[in-house]
Amino acid sequence: MTSTYNMILYVAKKQEDNDKSKNEHAKDVASAIAAGANIPAYSIGKHTCVHETNLLIIGCEVKSGQTPRAFTRILNEINPQDAKLVVVFSILKSGTASALAEAKKILEPKGVNLHDEEFVCNGASMFSNRGCPTDEDFKKAREFGSSMMAKFRKM
């Protein structure tokens, strides 16, 4: 019997080298999406893998269009048989480029089904976006999680 499930993966800041900040925006947004979707959220670790997953929602903080290494690594490991549908979320620390472009660049050539709708919000940095993500962002993240589950069920 094959088991399949849905999950959310995010890059935790403490996993990334040289990031000493205390804010865990990716974790907080992933938790809000998870609450709306009623599925678990996990931090991407060294041994995290995706296998026999129906819906994978994956995200990270993005700084000036750059995604964390852990995000790129896990995307490089995903093949079409590993996930039926991948959905991306981004927390923008600076700039306007989200993680979706990186996901498209890696996943589309392999034939992985990537949803074109993405959740994006701002994240506070030392120089901008103070107070972000906001309570409204978390509300929208929960709604996004719920809507992705509803859309996936219709596929």
Residue positions counted in the chain: 155
pLDDT band at residue 125 using 50, 70 and 90 as cut-offs: confident
Arithmetic mean of pLDDT, 127-154:
89
Q: In this predicted model, what pLDDT tens digit does every residue of 57-107 receive, in sequence order? A: 999 999 988 999 999 999 999 999 999 999 999 999 888 899 999 999 999
The H or E element spanning position 22 is none
pLDDT band for position 32 (cuts 50, 70, 90): very high
Average pLDDT value over all residues in the chain: 88
Q: Return d(Cα 118, Cα 7) in angstroms, integer.
A: 16
Q: In this structure, what token pair is assigned to residue 132?
A: 């972000």
Which domains are delineated in the chain?
5-154 (3.40.50.360)
**SS3 labels along 65-115:** CECCHHHHHHHHHCCCCCEEEEEEEEEEEECCCCCHHHHHHHHHHHCCCEC
Q: How confident is the model over 30-54, as a mean pLDDT?
A: 92
Distances (CA, A) of 130 to 24, 43, 80, 123: 14, 24, 39, 8
What's the rounded mean pLDDT across residues 42-68? 91
CA pair distance 3, 23, nearest whole angstrom: 35
DSSP letter at 52 equals: S
Predicted confidence band at 3 (pLDDT cuts at 50, 70, 90)? Answer: very low
Distance from C-alpha of 149 to C-alpha of 20, rounded to nearest angstrom: 34
How far is 115 from 121, CA to CA, in rounded Å?
17
Determine the Cα–Cα distance for residues 104 and 58; give it in Å rounded to an integer. Answer: 13
State the pTM of this model. Answer: 0.88
Q: What is the mean pLDDT of residues 18-46?
A: 85
